Structure 1
């Protein structure tokens, strides 16, 4: 349930609510300060000094404008969500709901409304909280600037190229976590002693595996843990999540392992490489469909996928075994191999591009670029994809000149 709580806190409920409540609570100490240290006479500068009637009118105006603009902001969000779901990809809605600009805008407007309303309630003929009113005016000015920034951000949210670049940057960060060397080989992991099976209590998608918690648990019990599922997998109730060698407190330890492997009814993009790749593929395949026929968007997706694969093909990926602080192999987590990444990313694009000479040619450019930076093992895999691409192009009945040009571009695959 930790993952579900994290998604809720990072959505349009947790962060905006926290900001709004924080600004609302801020009214209490400010009103107390104004009451405890009243301003005698009129020592404030003219741009801060204000009469009681003007203060009440100003606070009412700010509160009304803030709540009205908040409704408008949420309306704009819904429109953007609808456009993004229809024109780009429905699964982008999770990412939009976690956008910090959207969250801060909603929280600031809601907090300004609650703060101004609280100060308005405390303002009367015998009490004029001038500093509190000044802060309400400042919040109103900040809210205007934030709304302008929000409109600018929303205008970019429906730009496909900008969204593709943002998703690919997230994918690159996720893949780069797999480049860390652990210093352990599979042979160092003693899997034969694992007899305790930890089973799933409910069905769902694996959204997060807390490797640090599992390593700490294995070190405490001086045992080993072998995780049987990977982020993105769908697990059935009763299916084995992990195998362990706990000798004591088996129930408690097994519960800790289950809590470290988060299961949710839907896929998430927190630590799921497959999810990020599938979003880019969804955008590309939709663009290549006859109803859309937007090859340039598919080309942009292919370029960004290639950018995320640069380090894996040049440096390789880490193994499945993780070590604890003492360098002892304690944890085994199934990961993505380089072959898995290439197959998952390139095969759907190649299959959808059959008959599209422009897209096939650009896939040849992508493979050529990856081949130029790849290591020896990765080059063999890329050459195999190049051969399959040539076969796909030949099956689509292209012009002989186009096919010859593609052969020259993929000369490394032909030579191999």
Structure 2
């Protein structure tokens, strides 16, 4: 079975282009919530009207006078809430801009997606705007009539709904500030990236496929990319397996997830027969402007390496952050050290291979995790000591056939330190393994 971390026969779900587009926008959640609040307000307004009509039919005019008094208080509260909500919205928007600017400047532009797709941020904006809208609607419903026989409606239920929305806004504001402050701390950002990466690894089927690729035979047809240029974010595995089964062929994805694809370049190699029809291959590829964690083995490692590089830049000069990034790189690579890599095999119900999906090899993952940080951190003993310890730890957990890339990086690190550090004592200190860098 090639589906690591999944139940038998289950495959990762394909990305929904519409869902991904909506998650990358800020307008949908507030707009949908405001429409929902307007619908609820309409029902509450009808209920308020029904309450007044019932009291008038029963001759309970004193109760109506009391409700009119309550309506006057509700009008005052609605005025206050409408003004306060605009202030709150401005504060939330300002905090978001500052957080995004800090994350992009101090960590990496790739982590901005966490803020853009943050559910708590969108929920806070949505509820604040909906509370503001509801307060305006309550103001329009507030009665100025004092004669209980001529009163048509009193915003009683509407006022209660407004108070509930106000309470929810306050709770969400506290949660939003807490979540934003967490995402402004590099340790939480690194932990979030690592968690996303492991979630993707658990869902992505992998298997050693070198023997299977040799059995595919020659390429009998090519399928070119027909969509727009962009980053290959996802392929619909189920549709591709179905299309290959109908033709009795095996499809091999040429670019890897995360590669930039251009119209007219090869997208699929066909083995064993003619290419599937254009219709059967429609909506099988998702292309976007940036990479996502979905099906992308190396994206989390890329972000961790970017954070380490940014921390080691002369403008930041923060080797401790680089060490934190290396900690998670080691965790990620140690998890994959004994996992079959090279390609993912996807089979149909008859257990025949129908789709071969390339993934980064072990050597490529090691290079991605260490090459750039190793080059940028030569002048920092804290980083070099952590890198030596990291490579030593991975050499202990990696099988024999996966040790050469690690040994190569260790030798290159030692050679670079020997060339950059003239004093022998300093060289020995810089190459002494230390999991905390300089504890």
TM-score range, shorter chain: 0.7 to 0.9
Q: Distance in 1 between matches of 2:69 and 2:305?
A: 59
User: SS of 1:232's equivalent?
Assistant: coil
**Distance of aligned partners of 1:290 and 1:188 in 2 relative to their CA distance in 1, 3 Å threshold:** closer
- Kindly indicate whether residue 55 of structure 2 is the aligned counterpart of residue 31 of structure 1: no
**Distance of aligned partners of 1:197 and 1:98 in 2 relative to their CA distance in 1, 3 Å threshold:** same
**Distance of aligned partners of 1:64 and 1:184 in 2 relative to their CA distance in 1, 3 Å threshold:** farther
Q: Which residue of 2 aligns with 1:237?
A: 263
Q: Which residue of 2 aligns with 1:61?
A: 80
Report the Cα offset of residue 407 of structure 1. Answer: 6.4
Q: Distance in 2 between matches of 1:110 and 1:191?
A: 60
2:181 to 155, 163, 166: 155
Q: Distance in 2 between matches of 1:58 and 1:409?
A: 64
User: SS of 1:330's equivalent?
Assistant: strand
Q: Which residue of 2 aligns with 1:114?
A: 133
**Distance of aligned partners of 1:43 and 1:211 in 2 relative to their CA distance in 1, 3 Å threshold:** farther
**Distance of aligned partners of 1:117 and 1:268 in 2 relative to their CA distance in 1, 3 Å threshold:** same
User: SS of 1:250's equivalent?
Assistant: coil
**Distance of aligned partners of 1:407 and 1:196 in 2 relative to their CA distance in 1, 3 Å threshold:** closer
- Kindly indicate whether residue 134 of structure 2 is the aligned counterpart of residue 97 of structure 1: no
8 Å CA contact 1:194–1:244 kept in 2: the answer is yes
Mean CA deviation greater in 238-247 or 35-44: 35-44
| Aligned counterparts, 1:332-343, within 5 A | 332-343=356-367
Q: Distance in 1 between matches of 2:217 and 2:203?
A: 24
Q: Distance in 1 between matches of 2:49 and 2:277?
A: 60
8 Å CA contact 2:102–2:184 kept in 1: the answer is yes
Choose 1 or 2 for highest CA Rg.
2
User: SS of 1:216's equivalent?
Assistant: helix
**Distance of aligned partners of 1:67 and 1:405 in 2 relative to their CA distance in 1, 3 Å threshold:** closer
User: SS of 1:272's equivalent?
Assistant: coil
- Kindly indicate whether residue 354 of structure 2 is the aligned counterpart of residue 330 of structure 1: yes
Report the Cα offset of residue 233 of structure 1. Answer: 0.9
**Distance of aligned partners of 1:227 and 1:248 in 2 relative to their CA distance in 1, 3 Å threshold:** closer
Q: Which runs of 5+ in 2 are unaligned?
A: 1-14, 146-150, 435-439
Q: Distance in 1 between matches of 2:39 and 2:386?
A: 56
Q: Distance in 2 between matches of 1:90 and 1:249?
A: 39
Q: Once the two structures are superposed, what CA deviation does each residue of 1:24-72 show, in whole Å capped at 9, x if it has no partner?
A: 322122223333455745999xxx9962211222223223322331222
Report the Cα offset of residue 348 of structure 1. Answer: 0.8
Report the Cα offset of residue 409 of structure 1. Answer: 4.5
| Aligned counterparts, 1:305-384, within 5 A | 305-317=329-341, 319-384=343-408
Q: Distance in 2 between matches of 1:309 and 1:401?
A: 31
Q: Which residue of 1 aligns with 2:34?
A: 20
Q: Distance in 2 between matches of 1:189 and 1:132?
A: 69
Q: Distance in 2 between matches of 1:24 and 1:68?
A: 22
Q: Distance in 2 between matches of 1:272 and 1:91?
A: 14
Q: Distance in 2 between matches of 1:170 and 1:177?
A: 11
TM-score (norm 2): 0.82
Q: Distance in 2 between matches of 1:13 and 1:56?
A: 29
2:162 to 125, 136, 139: 136
Report the Cα offset of residue 364 of structure 1. Answer: 0.8
Q: Which residue of 2 aligns with 1:73?
A: 92
8 Å CA contact 1:315–1:375 kept in 2: the answer is no
Q: Which residue of 1 aligns with 2:318?
A: 294
**Distance of aligned partners of 1:176 and 1:372 in 2 relative to their CA distance in 1, 3 Å threshold:** farther
| Aligned counterparts, 1:164-203, within 5 A | 164-178=190-204, 180-181=206-207, 186-187=212-213, 190-192=216-218, 194-203=220-229
Report the Cα offset of residue 294 of structure 1. Answer: 0.9
8 Å CA contact 2:252–2:357 kept in 1: the answer is yes
8 Å CA contact 2:85–2:131 kept in 1: the answer is yes
Q: Distance in 1 between matches of 2:303 and 2:62?
A: 60
**Distance of aligned partners of 1:35 and 1:81 in 2 relative to their CA distance in 1, 3 Å threshold:** same
**Distance of aligned partners of 1:248 and 1:99 in 2 relative to their CA distance in 1, 3 Å threshold:** closer
Report the Cα offset of residue 302 of structure 1. Answer: 0.5
Q: Distance in 2 between matches of 1:354 and 1:406?
A: 9
**Distance of aligned partners of 1:67 and 1:324 in 2 relative to their CA distance in 1, 3 Å threshold:** farther
Q: Once the two structures are superposed, what CA deviation does each residue of 1:371-391 show, in whole Å capped at 9, x if it has no partner?
A: 232233233432332222222
User: SS of 1:251's equivalent?
Assistant: coil
How many positions carry a matched residue from both structures?
404
**Distance of aligned partners of 1:163 and 1:119 in 2 relative to their CA distance in 1, 3 Å threshold:** same
